Structure 1
Amino acid sequence: MHAKALERFTVIDLSRIRSGPTAVRQLADWGAKVIKVEAIEEDGMFGSRVSSDFQNLHRNKRSLTLNLKDPKAADIMRRLIEKADVLVENFRPDVKERLGIGYEAARAINPRLVYASISGFGQTGPYAKLPGFDQVAQGMGGLMSVTGLPGQGPVRVGIPIADLGAGLYCALGILTALLEREVSGEGQWVQTSLLQAQVALLDFQATRWLMDKEVPQQAGNDHPTAIPTGVFQTANGYINIAVAGQPMWKKFCKAIDAKHLAEEPRFSDSKSRSENRKALNDAISEQTKGKSSADWMKIFAAAGVPSGPIYAVDEVFADPQVQHLKLAQPVMHPDLGEIHLVGQPIIMSRSKSAIETPTPAKGQHTDEILMELGYDKAAIEQLKGGGVV
């Protein structure tokens, strides 16, 4: 068994809901030692701890309960920060200052600390103190204006993409800061937000406006610029077909036995195909309705034309390629038995990710962590009696 890639790093997880835990999960799955600091009382923000969502977000962590509002918690936080490499939080910007755990306070304790913050809209600026929520960021970040059928009105995507994007960008920032620390010897403050992540994830749709002054519109299942790319009906369902560029267009027309489409002036180049998108899609569908989805995918695979089935989630995990990639990972839970969670979508030749432990019970490791910080049993009992932990 090779050493875990990030096992030399200790991470304090002060985050809640989804964006922060997503960032921390990226570190935990590669071996970082994560201490999840949780409120003693239930906050009611995320439902049951044994829910599939909670289990998927918080595996590979240890749990310490701590009342951050109690002044006696400051010494525990100081000791945690002294030993940590990374701290991740997603409080509103003013909240962490009130609790005395803002960046400058943490940096004064440990200058090597990489302090990572995720907020709704940024740490500064006119919206800094507003609460953030994934769907709000999807709307403000432009995603809902380009999702859905033309004229349908704004549509959210089916996953919390702003939360997930912010978490992944945060993890990337943390790893960059840890690499930079090897040169400078100092930590730094890594900041991102749901809004920043969502705007960045617009990618080519954003630059269509920034460079070309073109406001992207809803295109439904059709690709906005690579045409024909979209959903096409077959004899027994629907499949995705993706055709980009003239050589691919000619191969595609040959594969569906419709060379006449390649010769049709209305479809002769990308611009023409865009202008006559509906007529082209209708003509293609007339061809694809003649064979089953499976038959078409064999034909397109032989022709080198990208295509694929459109799965429900249960079908995703039944697919032989998904199973080969081991994207569903088992872990044993003390109450639930063996459960399966979503594994890391990264394969490295030496370093391996792993889901080794399920989400801990709240406060499961409080005594253990406090003893590591230098508290004896009597001191721990006193802290418990005072409602500090």
Structure 2
Amino acid sequence: MRPLDGIRVIDLSRILSGPYCTMTLADLGAEVIKVEPPNGDDTRGWGPPFVVEESAYFLSVNRNKKSIVLNLKTEEGREIFLKMVKEADVVVENFRPGTLDRLKIGYDVLKEVNPRIILASISGYGQTGPYRNKPGYDVIAQGVGGLTSVTGEPGRPPVKAGFSIADIGTGMWAVIGIQSALIAREKTGQGQWIDVSLLDTMISWQTYLAGNYFASGKDPEPQGGAHPNIVPYQLFESADGYFNVAVGNDSLWAKFCQVIGEEELIDHPKYKTNADRVRHREELIPYLQNIFLKRTSKEWVEAFEEAGIPAGPVLKLSEIFTDPHVLAREQLVEVEHPTAGKVKMTGIPVKLSDTPGEIKDHPPLLGQHTEEILTKYVGLEEKKIKELAEKNIVKVYNGQKVNN
């Protein structure tokens, strides 16, 4: 068994935050039914790159799901959706707040149909507050939530994180909220509405930076590859590239100084304690940087690791996905896809000893499971499904693509 076996999720979401959430639920055993509009999830067309004709972006976050094409802007489409909700456990959506109400399928409607339903709403700014109606995208949330202001090199323009951390992080909060609501439902018998936002994610992750601000009243500044509270704990340039080293306490500092051949720094009055090193980082870091230019990243990392000091190289994806440890952890998997062939994707990061997750199914083709879902979960006969398809309320996969 898998931990979420028997849980049925209706996924109205698209792009990244919602699909990442529902992929995680599906990996852990939930049955996820992806309800797509007639043109499909936007990301089906986001490329290049494409794997044959499938978007690499879409493939990355939609495995283990079933796809039904359903036009929710029609009365019959809404009726079908609500019949699906009656037998479901969770609905996930990431529309702008108020959209479900305009479609007449808001939380009040859903809980009337199924009091046990859990609705997870992902948005840019949340379901309440002055900004609730603003559109929210990852890059905007990184800026408004403070991440951009502390990312980048000192004295240089701010930059966003290298991937969509606000979207993915909010998807993770949605998973946590859903699992918490499922546990609560076991006690109360009732579902509930989960409200998570990209902005709240960014703010909640400020942690020690927010703590530093509350304590000092000073806005944190970008540190490049460094840490505001620990020195040295950062990126350094070597003779052939870059590496990170993390000297998290004073005993590690003594070992660090021995590795670099600078034992006199151990008890130096400016550097003896971490607080000393933080106060004098402007002198210490350039001095250390000159030393690190004398050897390669590999040589430094091996020397530090041998001494028990946390260190690691800065790898590219081409290096990560050939690393023996990454492969041993099954963080690279291959799934057979009907049109794209063997598709590589990242593995499941949560390792459960007795009820592990599983990657069973390829990301679905558009409308691939429309007929199956309408028959199995809504109780429609083939004649009725054909009627709905002719009226463009649903689209049925015919072995190559959905009907037009």
Q: Scaled by the length of structure 1, what TM-score is found? A: 0.96
When the two chains are superposed, the root-mean-square deviation of aligned CA atoms in Å is 1.4
Q: Aligned residue for 1:298?
A: 302
Answer whether contact 2:15 2:41 (CA < 8 A) is retained: no
Deviations 1:304-361 (A, max 9, x none): 1000111111111122211111101110011111111111111111112222111111
The separation in 1 between residues aligned to 2:318 and 2:213, in whole angstroms, is 38
Q: Aligned residue for 2:197?
A: 193
Answer whether contact 1:6 1:30 (CA < 8 A) is retained: yes
Q: Aligned residue for 1:378?
A: 383
The separation in 2 between residues aligned to 1:106 and 1:210, in whole angstroms, is 41
Deviations 1:77-135 (A, max 9, x none): 11110000000001111211010111111000001011100011010111111111101
Q: Aligned residue for 2:260?
A: 256
Matched length = 387
Tell me which stretches of 4 or more aligned residues in structure 1 moved more than 6 Å: none
The separation in 2 between residues aligned to 1:19 and 1:217, in whole angstroms, is 28
Q: 1:348 to 1:28 in 2, by over 3 A?
A: same
Deviations 1:240-297 (A, max 9, x none): 1111221111111112111111232221222321222132112222332333322222
Q: Aligned residue for 2:19?
A: 21
SS at match of 1:318: coil
Q: Aligned residue for 2:7?
A: 9
The one-letter amino acid of 1:294's match is K
Residues 1:162 and 2:172 aligned together:
no
Residues 1:96 and 2:100 aligned together:
yes
| Alpha-carbon offset, residue 213 of structure 1 | 2.6
The one-letter amino acid of 2:225's match is N
| Alpha-carbon offset, residue 153 of structure 1 | 2.1
Residues 1:153 and 2:151 aligned together:
no
Most deviating of 228-237 and 379-388? 228-237
Q: Scaled by the length of structure 2, what TM-score is found? A: 0.93
The separation in 1 between residues aligned to 2:285 and 2:167, in whole angstroms, is 35
2:28 is matched with which residue: 14, 19, 30?
30
Answer whether contact 1:33 1:61 (CA < 8 A) is retained: yes
Residues 1:282 and 2:301 aligned together:
no
The separation in 2 between residues aligned to 1:42 and 1:344, in whole angstroms, is 25
Identity among equivalent pairs (%): 40
The gaps in structure 1 that reach 5 residues or longer are none
The separation in 1 between residues aligned to 2:324 and 2:117, in whole angstroms, is 43
Answer whether contact 1:165 1:201 (CA < 8 A) is retained: no
Q: Aligned residue for 1:228?
A: 232
The one-letter amino acid of 1:348's match is L
Residues 1:350 and 2:354 aligned together:
yes
| Alpha-carbon offset, residue 177 of structure 1 | 0.3
The gaps in structure 2 that reach 5 residues or longer are 47-52, 395-404
Q: Aligned residue for 2:343?
A: 339
